[in-house]
Amino acid sequence: MSRTAIWAIAVPFAIFLAWTGKIVYDANTGEVVSLAIKGFDPRDLLSGHYLRYRVEWGGPSCAGTSYGEAHCICLGQEKPAQSVWAGSCEELPEICRTYIRGVCQAGQFDAELERYYFPEEWRGKLVTVPDKATVQVSVTKSGRATVLGLSVADKPLGDWIKSAP
């Protein structure tokens, strides 16, 4: 095998490992926050088994912002957490300890948290987002959020599925 072929294989593999490592690092080092969610359009026949939902921010989010504009939402300390401030990330108040970066699109704040994949064996019991559902996310100090899990009525989704009729 030539050196060029080895580099052609090694470089993408190294980039993939670095990207995966960054996601795992962010998930393990961020502050865990619970956010209330509400389902919408939970099906996409071409994309596997997942739930689509919207985060219920419960406070200011994207009012008066342009489409695609970078945005930050400052979260309060209650559970589930709710928005206490929203605006440009450059104007983030100093007292804001936990915030999530995203963009405003069509009046909705999008932080790429709105999809949760689940095992195929749950597909019969998990057709829509259940009532009282929350998503747990890890939020880094720089505002990057990663989905960790989903709960229903304070039970992890797997436990809730086992007890569901």
Q: Label the pairing between strands 115-117 and 108-110.
A: unpaired
Q: In whole numbers, what is the pLDDT of the chain averaged over residues?
A: 83
End-to-end CA distance of the chain: 57
Strand 50-55 vs strand 83-87: parallel, antiparallel, or unpaired?
A: unpaired
Amino acid at 153: A
- Tokens encoding 14: 């190294």
Q: 109-125: per-residue pLDDT in tens?
A: 889 898 888 888 887 78
Percentage with pLDDT > 70 across the chain: 88
Cβ–Cβ under 8 Å, residues 74 and 31: no
- Which is nearest to 144 in space by CA: 70, 38, 82, 77? 70
Give the DSSP letter string of 102-130.
Answer: EEEETTEEE-S--EEE--GGGTTT-SSPP
143 HSE (CA, 13 A, CB side): 19
Nearest Cα to Cα of residue 108 among 50, 42, 63, 70: 63
* Percent above pLDDT 90 for the chain: 29
CA angle 81, 84, 85 (to 5 degrees): 130
For 48-82, what is each residue's pLDDT tens digit? Answer: 677 888 899 988 788 776 677 788 999 998 889 99
pTM for the structure as a whole:
0.78
Contact 49, 120 (CB under 8 A): yes
